[in-house]
Amino acid sequence: MPPSPRIRIGVAGALGQMGRAVINVVDARDDCEIAAVFDRPESAGQRLGERVLAASDAAAALSDVIIDFSAPEASVALAIACAARRGAALVIGSTGLSDEQATAIDEAALHIPVVRSGNFSLGVNLLLGLVEQAARTLKASDWDVEVFEAHHRRKVDAPSGTALMLGEAAARGRRISLAGASERGRDGQTGPRAPGAIGFSVMRAGGIVGEHSVVLAAEDEILTLSHSARNRSLFARGAVEAAIWAQGRAPGLYDVMDVLGFARGGADD
């Protein structure tokens, strides 16, 4: 029986740290291969090791799935282009998307499969479920929620996409809107903490890969749920698994929970 053909993966943002990590993960596997690498338009023709950076449209034509850890504007443009040609599936890990940019990607997913997530780590996605359950169980009148995140000095958006996912998980557990409960900045005479608020604290320093903690604090006890990323390869491995899963799927917007096959509980479960 002939072996199954390898899934052809394109890598957007190939010059970035995550793009390079994805390339390394794909190169080490037997079930997929790098079809094309690309970055900003002016980088086409530049060498990346033994590979030559392609233009985005040429890369899309060569790929079954494109993994994209670039920037919000580039991710939106790529999603629109792939949807227009009914072409490659997309795995998008870009963070800092505005509501309008997220909506544009959602619309692209009407025509192609898109796996979009602020974090492709298995551990983080398990953490999301634990945070939602804890927030649902512990009364908001007695327990304050604070999300802490730390990343390297080069990260340009804050709070991180993962921190916002954790905040959303806490809000779902409490059956409230994060937009109405979020506290993202404290300075000066802020007054007492608002009841039911979900706070965010951010650190940017050195080469920190990713630290996330959710603190649930009552008057006489504190519960901390946390995750530490030690190497970017864990995110790259998750993104490659998502790409293999997405190839051949029906159009739609998916996330890592879909990729992992996790059952999703209802609001009252």
pLDDT in tens, 41-54: 999 999 999 999 99
Active site residue 152: no
Give the integer Cα–Cα distance in Å for 115 and 91.
Answer: 5
* Spatial contact of 146 and 199, defined as CB atoms under 8 Å apart: yes
pLDDT > 60? residue 266: no
The pairs formed by 260-268 with CB atoms below 8 angstroms and a separation of 24 or more are 260/122, 260/125, 262/125, 262/129, 267/172, 267/175
**pLDDT for position 186:** 85
CATH number, domain with residue 241: 3.40.50.720
Q: Tell me the pTM.
A: 0.77
Phi, psi at 189, each rounded to 5°? -80, 90
**pLDDT for position 119:** 87
pLDDT bucket at 262, cuts 50 / 70 / 90: low
Convert the pLDDT of each residue in 3-29 to its tens digit: 678 999 999 999 999 999 999 999 999
Number of domains in the chain: 2
Phi, psi at 234, each rounded to 5°? -65, -35
* Spatial contact of 174 and 113, defined as CB atoms under 8 Å apart: no
> Is there a domain that residue 267 lies in?
no
Domain identity same for 85 and 173: no
Active site residue 111: no
Give me the catalytic one of 151, 152, 212, 227: 151
Domain region containing 176: 122-229
Convert the pLDDT of each residue in 100-137 to its tens digit: 999 999 999 999 999 999 889 888 988 998 999 999 99
> Is there a domain that residue 49 lies in?
yes
Strand partners, 17: none
pLDDT > 90? residue 158: yes
> Is there a domain that residue 89 lies in?
yes
Give me the catalytic one of 111, 152, 155, 227: 155
Domain identity same for 222 and 249: no
> Is there a domain that residue 208 lies in?
yes
Assigned token pair, 125: 């996605």
Average pLDDT of span 145-157: 95
CATH number, domain with residue 150: 3.30.360.10
Domain identity same for 15 and 53: yes
Strand partners, 175: none
**pLDDT for position 1:** 57
